[in-house]
Each structure stands twice: as C-alpha cells, then as structure tokens.
Amino acid sequence: MRRRGSYWEKQAMKYLRRQGLKLICRNYLCPLGEVDLIMRHHDTLVFVEVRFRAASGWVSAAESVTLAKQRKVIRAAAHYLQRHQRYANMPCRFDVLAISQSAAGTDKPAFDWIPAAFDASFYD
C-alpha cells in the first residue's frame, strides 16, 4: 500500500512541476501529521495533499480529504513552518491533487488539482 502511495505522490510531483511549482520537500512527517508535498508556486508556499482513488471507490479522491485529514495537514504544516523560519513569512495555501483512474486501469489517470482546497483559518 505504501509503495502505491509513493508512486502516485511521484506522479503528482511531476504533474505539479509541469504546472510551474517547485519541490521543496516530500513526505514531511512529524508527530502531528504528514504533508505529502511541500512546493513553491511563485511567492507562495504550497502544502499538497495527494489522493488517489480507483473508479470503484465510494467517494472521489478529492472527497476523501476529510476535515480530520485537513486538520492533520494544517498541524504538520505549522510544525514545518516553526522549524523552517525562512518560510515563516511567506503566504501559504493548502492544495489537493486528486488522481483517479478508470476501473479498467487502461486509461491514463486524471489529475484534478484544487488550489486552496481548504483553509487554515477555519481551524483558528
């Protein structure tokens, strides 16, 4: 399962690089949670949650990013910012990159990039 997740995170990273984002960190893990990708888009630090779902799932990849998951990503992002002060004053946003694949598995995966998918101010 972890190997498949790593594969899709690499595909997500490649996709976002083609969109002009620059990778800063992959799989930032701390006691409060994990951020799949930390990237820079122009002058903004972007924390990206990557989700993959096959067509047979009950919910879409984007819908699977629950409020609980959002909280964990936000907490991990805050942890990252506390430890990497050079980014502390940069604008930040939380994106979701949802990847879906057909049930047959023969079609190319579809990438649905949702910039500013959720907001940390909701949890203040």
| pLDDT tens by residue, 18-61 | 999 999 999 999 999 999 999 999 999 999 999 988 765 677 88
Q: Give residue-wise pLDDT tens across range 97-115.
A: 999 876 555 568 889 999 9
- Give the residue, 5 or 3, on which the prediction is more confident: 5
pLDDT at position 4: 59
Q: Give residue-wise pLDDT tens across range 57-74.
A: 677 888 889 999 999 999
How far apart, in Å, do the first and last CA atoms of the chain sit? 34
Cα–Cα dist 77/29, whole Å: 10
pLDDT at position 58: 74
pLDDT at position 10: 95
- Retrieve residue 33's tokens: 């949670």
Domain ranges of the chain: 2-123
Coil, strand or helix at 33: strand
Which of the four CATH numbers 3.40.50.1110, 3.60.15.10, 3.40.1350.10, 3.30.300.30 does domain 2-123 have?
A: 3.40.1350.10
pLDDT at position 1: 44
pLDDT at position 2: 52
